[in-house]
Amino acid sequence: MRKGAQPTMKALMVQGTSSGAGKSLLCTALCRIFSDMGYSAAPFKAMNMSLNSAVSADGGEIASAQYVQAHAARTEPLSAMNPVLLKPDVGGPHIIINGHYSGKIVAGGDFSWDMGNARKAVSSSLRSLSHFDIVVMEGSGSPAEINIRERDIANGYAARLAGAKVILVSDIDRGGAFASVMGTWTLLDETERRRLSVFLFNRMRGDASVLEKGARVIEERTGMKYGGSIPFVEGAALPDEDSLSLRTAGMGKGRIRFAAVRTPFLSNYSDFYPLIYQRDVGFSLTDDPGECERADVVILGGSKNSVADLRFLRENGFDDMLQERVREGRRVIGICGGYQMLSRRIIDRHHVESDADSVRGVGVFDSTTEMTARKVTDSVSGYILEEKEGRPVAVSGYEIHFGTTAAKGRRFIGICRRNGMAVNELDGEVTGAAVGTYVHGLFSNRRFLQKLVDEICMEKGIDSFSVAGNIEERAIKKVAAIVRRSVDMDLVMEMAGIA
């Protein structure tokens, strides 16, 4: 085989006429549908830009969308499924290549070195997935962004490497979907047009038959085939590339209420999904200290830049509100970067996140966080350390962070396993009703969430309720069933080369 050539593989790609068109949802559904049919499937996105990430089975960092798509395919998430991940930060995004931190793109800088390594990572990752029956590839943004075409490795370049035919999806709910499909096809070159095989509409409300006449015109003009329309899907706890889907979440009528602070560099907001989709839990993502004050629990989530987000907290009065809550014995939870911000001081001698050597934290915990050049990306499991004896509550999750925190308070979690290896470590700390931890995914642990809900209900003097588990799996099943009913799967199978 010549150098750089891909082995024979069956692959299809989902591209969109825009960001948010429904690529991730469709890829998630297809991964589960193929798995249900008995095929081994693997998700793949050559390059993603997202602050929502997770730790793969091989210890790398990948976008949460591909992590969940691997679960949909019933296979282990691997670094090869998202070989290039860009994480926005002050001054330019961090680059994650093959699951590991590889530096930072300086705003206005030269992309050539980074893109050369990125292309190599994409090519080698596709080769490593060639043993799967089908690779379900997700494009990025739109393939017709002609101003950045030479740097676009996630659409036409990746499709060409894999020899993949393309499904083009457009959001009909936004309006202008027919023009978006036709305009995308028009702006692509002849080689890319030949790969476009099927087009779909997403988020259709009402009678889909009204689309038929327009779809036939698109078929006649482009040669693509119309594959159907996916109805508007509500209540699916699937990760987005940004927190837009959470911004409209309101407090609702939940019997207990959680509020997460919407900081500028909020990351890993998939932590919140198990709360949003609980029937009796109200949730809001807010930049209003007053709304946080009214909540039963305030969450300070992950952060791509703890120092910058700490400045936001101080400028908007959150630090005073958080300190007052803790003095009153009201609940505050800091996760990863949120935990760092709640410490007494953040030391950054290596200037990982800022030009300052040291900044004052919120001071909820009498601990010190020190930023380090090494990035931790580990899967962990353990148990909650209780003051009283009783059945330990097991938890599992992952850590993604720069820096360490020298805790002085009572510790929160006993870590038993790190990346599958037995360890004996302590994580986080507890001061009164405030909890800090580096472990993401806590609320996905049903026993932990149930215990938290029981305690809050007892404090409020109301009856507790059962929390729902397997939120992610239920969402995967839901979208797979909807896509199976609404999309011409025979057409999809034919374009993918599967009998």
Catalytic amino acids?
336, 440
Distance between CA atoms of 468 and 455, rounded to whole angstroms? 17
Closest CA to 88 of 304, 263, 400: 304
Pair 465, 457: CB distance under 8 Å:
yes
* Ramachandran region, residue 186 (left: φ > 0; alpha: ψ -120 to 50; beta: rest): alpha
Which tokens is 326 given? 């803790």
Which tokens is 309 given? 């987000």
Distance between CA atoms of 312 and 44, rounded to whole angstroms? 35
Helix pair 318-327, 306-315: axis angle to 10 deg: 80
| Cα four-point dihedral sign 341, 56, 61, 241 | negative
Which tokens is 93 given? 């995004």
Closest CA to 442 of 304, 297, 262: 297
Residue carrying structure tokens 């958080």: 322
Pair 13, 162: CB distance under 8 Å:
yes
Dihedrals phi, psi of 374, to nearest 5 degrees? -80, 135
Which tokens is 363 given? 């001071």
